[in-house]
Structure 1
Amino acid sequence: MEFYHLRSFVAVAEIGNLTQAAKRLYTTPPAISAHIKSLEEELATPLFIRSNKGMSLTDKGQLLLKKAYLTLDCALDLVNLAANNQHEIIGTFHLGINLTAKQMRLSELVKNLQENCPGISLDIHQQSTGITINDIREHRLDGGYIFGAIPDDFIGVAVMKKKITTIAPFSFDCSKIVTQADLCIHQWIMMGDYCPFDDFLKDKLGNNIPSTIKTSDETSRLELVKSGLGLSFLEIEEALMAETNKQVRIISVLDFPATLYFVVAKNRAREPVISALMQEVKILWDLEL
């Protein structure tokens, strides 16, 4: 029995789909199928019930899943033992961020990694909370920064709170905005990609918000607002800077706090590279180790 057979088995068991499991493991559906078939032949029992809706575990498959988790955890313990010195850990951490590099203190994180974990490199992706969560689940990212609640299958730490405000074009007449309801008739540039800020906006203004543009990139939203194409949410520091430069106006009636979290998948938290990054993030933000 090979470890990569067990990894394929666990991926299919968790996802219920060969194609998606193959994407997670950066391989092909035929390869995953061959691994499952090999396991079933070796154990002389079917592990999955196949249907047009996907693949679900048999009773024997459920039993094997528990053993597979234990076996893979033991293998990971051996890897961790071999790499107990962070200077010996080698790998790439694929990181999702949803604010600017300056706000994320990325230069400090990189310098800390070069000193404490020189074998770890960063692959950084600027994207929304929703995409980051999905990419972590699909193993396209190893971790990232998100707004909103931490999903049950993740673990994370709160790194800071941000105030989110509304920005409008500099030519906008803010004197006409007295209540939240006054914002319902204006065009909005929304975040899209399952961003929790959109959920907040819909909760306050309803589901029929006038909007023809969506972008998860803060810089793009700021430029679109400056061009007079609508209102949007922006982190308060960026908004104040743009207001000082007479590029936008700030409307405060919808202001709300948002906690920024650094998260990783629970089932990967003990992997050496991921564990090391979690520790470095805690050090960066002066959090309890």
Structure 2
Amino acid sequence: MPTKSYTRGARAFPFSRPLWSYKEYETLDTCPICNESRFKMTSQNRTTKIPQKVMRYLPLKPRLHRLYMSTHTATNLRWHKKKWVDDDVMRHPTDGEACKEFDRTFPDFVADPQNVRLRLATDGFNPYEVLNQHHSTWLIFVFPYNLPPWKCMKKEYMMMTILITKDPGRSIDVYLRPLVDELKDLWANGVRTYDKSTRKMFTLRAAVMWTVNDFPAYAMVSGSSAKGYIACPVCKEDVTSSWHAGKICYLDHRRWLPWDHEWREKDKEFDGNTERRRLRPREWSGDDILEQLNRLDFSPFGKTVSRTKPSTHMNWTHKSMFFELPY
């Protein structure tokens, strides 16, 4: 399991400790699940031990502090409340139904426009191109979506929180632990922050409301595998799939159309059949997904732990750590 170090620019934070020996495991030198050593095998004369894995974690709170240290930026962070117009036009995530439902569910969070709404994104790449196929670098970014749409995606507001130097796979939750703990604290307790525009102190709270990834990264973060015959996260077990041209194909999407749509009557343009026999699949709510996951028993993370799962788990590989967030 990895060791984390706290870095900011060229300077290091004044503390560093192993990630896997986090909190209650702080004094251990081996993993309590798979008994893997924290350190690599090296010469006995070597005084510095080399960890098996290393990740860099950049705390989120100092960056949120700095957003409010600029009068111009602090003013823009209240754009979603001061200048937002509800005219049924989608210009920004705050115009979406998910954000409106969040506002209705947590009015105490919404009451203070200085509270920050975040989006999380992750992906991996190989910096050595084809020279090293065994190396993969994974970055996890957080974006403040209080900002207006022409600024929220600018690179100066991108906050890299985690740098992983190996494909984490389903064990990405191990790396996400410090970030999730910080997000839980930002939601429950907040952090005292100085607003340069109002020249007053306030308690800043934050919430991750969206995650945006490509499909493979989505599978890692959500815990729903992107491989197999039931890999569609929307249709789930009601998916229609088959093997064609050397790959699994997902078919029969016309059943999502309205019942009177003209494409349901077409046959030659599609697979030779009309689509009059099936309605659209069941739409799963967040509560339905959570209830389903709570009934499943997943194996713990670890090098020697079996990765096989019963058929009742469908395409779920693990329960995502983001379900620990109270919202």
- TM-score computed with the length of structure 2 as normaliser: 0.21
Higher helix share: 1
Q: Which one scores higher on RCO, CA 8 angstroms, separation ≥ 6? A: 1
- TM-score computed with the length of structure 1 as normaliser: 0.23
